[in-house]
């Protein structure tokens, strides 16, 4: 969708929002898949309510993109504009055990920044790609650690009220790859509380997780991490692997030959290729195991 009205563009500019017309979303996602639309980059959280009011008043549909590492976006010209938060500088500030972190901050860099201040606990999250905001929304986890455990409060923009609000930990529930945040909540900033630990120990933990990840996941290929959630008590990767589907392709979308729950863009995969692969693998797992796999990746159909 293109915003062409000079009046609307001037109002967007007045809010200090950067307008990138016809941006390729493929370039903003780790899968390298996604069509084109206007991208609006929001520099100040406080301007978000006014921007959303403006878009609503003008009948312009919009969606929020975080780090782009867990999303599968439709092909072609998209019927909504995309909003993305620009990270504040500095995006992480630390006071004792309390860490204020911007939703747009890179998760891995946040883990290492905290480690340098002798704050640990999040070592397992080191290789999870994406932004802190995406990690909060999905309650990202790996190697026994989930981000939700460290959250004390989160500032969100709530579409329901049209305002920025602060939610305390007791108002949020974090479960396996699921949280109580609504579809209209946009993560802005969080306060985490991390345990004190010597930098050297944290670094050793980080190294172990990095090695495990390198050994089992296709880190140098375009992917959105695991494509399906693990079913209760089971492993999606093991089931898909057991059906001999590593390397199985639909167009350029391929089941990784390293980890069967990673689907990679092995060339110029379209969204349709990836959705076709997801449907086919799901159907085969259903007929072999009677188990309906649920996507972990967020799908944006046009």
Active site residue 114: no
Interaction of residue 241 with ligand EPU, rule CB under 6 A:
yes
Stretch that binds ligand EPU, among 58-66, 235-243, 263-271, 275-283 (CB under 6 A): 235-243
The DSSP secondary structure of 117-180, one letter per residue, reads: TTB-S-GGGTT--SBHHHHHHHT-EETTEEGGGGEEEEEEEETTTTEEEEEEGGG--EETTEES
Residues 225, 264, 271, 277: which binds ligand EPU (CB under 6 A)? 225
8 Å CB contact between 101 and 134:
no
261 binds ligand EPU (CB under 6 A): yes
Within positions 140 to 179, which residues make up the interface with ligand EPU, using CB under 6 A?
A: 142-143
| Minimum CB–partner distance for residue 301 and ligand EPU (Å) | 20
For 52-61, b where at least 16 C-beta lie within 10 A, e where not — what string? bebbeeeebe
**Encoding tokens for residue 240?**
């898909």
Cross-strand pairs, 99: 94, 192
Question: Contact between 194 and ligand EPU (CB under 6 A)?
Answer: no
In eight-state DSSP terms, residue 100 is E
Q: Determine the 3-state secondary structure of 185 from DSSP.
A: strand
Query: In a 10 Å sphere around its CB, with 0-12 CB exposed, 13-18 middle and 19+ buried, how is residue 295 labelled?
Result: middle
Does position 37 bind ligand EPU by CB under 6 A?
no
Stretch that binds ligand EPU, among 90-98, 147-155, 164-172, 221-229 (CB under 6 A): 221-229
Catalytic residue, from 177, 197, 213, 284: name it.
177
Among 36, 37, 230, 270, binds ligand EPU (CB under 6 A): 230
Comparing CB distances to ligand EPU, the nearer of 48 and 126 is 126
**Closest to 154 measured CA to CA, from 92, 85, 76, 102:** 102
Among 237, 264, 266, 275, binds ligand EPU (CB under 6 A): 237
- Nearest 5°: CA angle at 251, between 248 and 257? 30
Residues 162, 218, 235, 243: which binds ligand EPU (CB under 6 A)?
235
Nearest to 82 by CA among 142, 135, 129, 42: 42
Can 177 be counted among the known catalytic residues?
yes
Q: How far is the CB of 242 from ligand EPU (least distance, A)?
A: 7
How many residues interact with ligand EPU (rule CB under 6 A)? 15
Query: Which residue among 114, 189, 191, 226 is the active-site one?
Result: 226
Catalytic residues: 177, 226
Chain residues in the site for ligand EPU (CB under 6 A): 142-143, 216, 225-226, 229-230, 235, 237-238, 241, 259-261, 296
């Amino acid at each position: 969708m293109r915003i062409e009205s000079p009046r609307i563009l001037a109002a967007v500019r007045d809010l200090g929002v950067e307008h990138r017309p016809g941006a390729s979303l493929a370039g903003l996602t780790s899968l390298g898949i996604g069509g084109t639309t206007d991208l609006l980059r929001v520099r100040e959280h406080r301007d978000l309510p006014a921007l959303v009011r403006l878009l609503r008043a003008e009948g312009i549909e919009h969606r929020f993109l975080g780090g782009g590492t867990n999303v599968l976006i439709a092909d072609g010209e998209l019927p909504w504009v995309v909003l993305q938060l620009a990270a504040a500088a500095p995006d992480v500030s630390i006071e004792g055990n309390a860490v204020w972190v911007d939703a747009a901050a890179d998760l891995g860099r946040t883990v290492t920044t905290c480690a340098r201040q002798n704050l640990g606990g999040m070592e397992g999250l080191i290789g999870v790609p994406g932004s802190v905001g995406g990690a909060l929304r999905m309650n990202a986890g790996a190697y026994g650690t989930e981000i939700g455990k460290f959250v004390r409060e989160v500032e969100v923009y709530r579409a329901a009220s049209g305002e920025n609000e602060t939610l305390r930990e007791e108002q949020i529930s974090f479960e396996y790859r699921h949280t109580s945040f609504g579809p209209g909540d946009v993560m802005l900033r969080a306060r985490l509380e991390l345990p004190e630990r010597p930098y050297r120990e944290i670094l050793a933990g980080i190294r172990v997780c990095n090695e495990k990840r390198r050994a089992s996941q296709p880190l140098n290929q375009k992917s959105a991490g695991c494509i399906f959630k693990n079913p209760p008590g089971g492993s999606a990767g093991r089931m898909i692997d057991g059906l001999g589907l590593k390397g199985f392709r639909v167009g350029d979308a391929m089941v990784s030959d390293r980890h069967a729950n990673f689907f990679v863009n092995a060339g110029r995969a379209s969204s349709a290729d990836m959705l076709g692969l997801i449907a086919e693998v799901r159907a085969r797992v259903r007929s072999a195991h009677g188990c309906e796999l649920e996507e972990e990746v967020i799908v944006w159909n046009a």
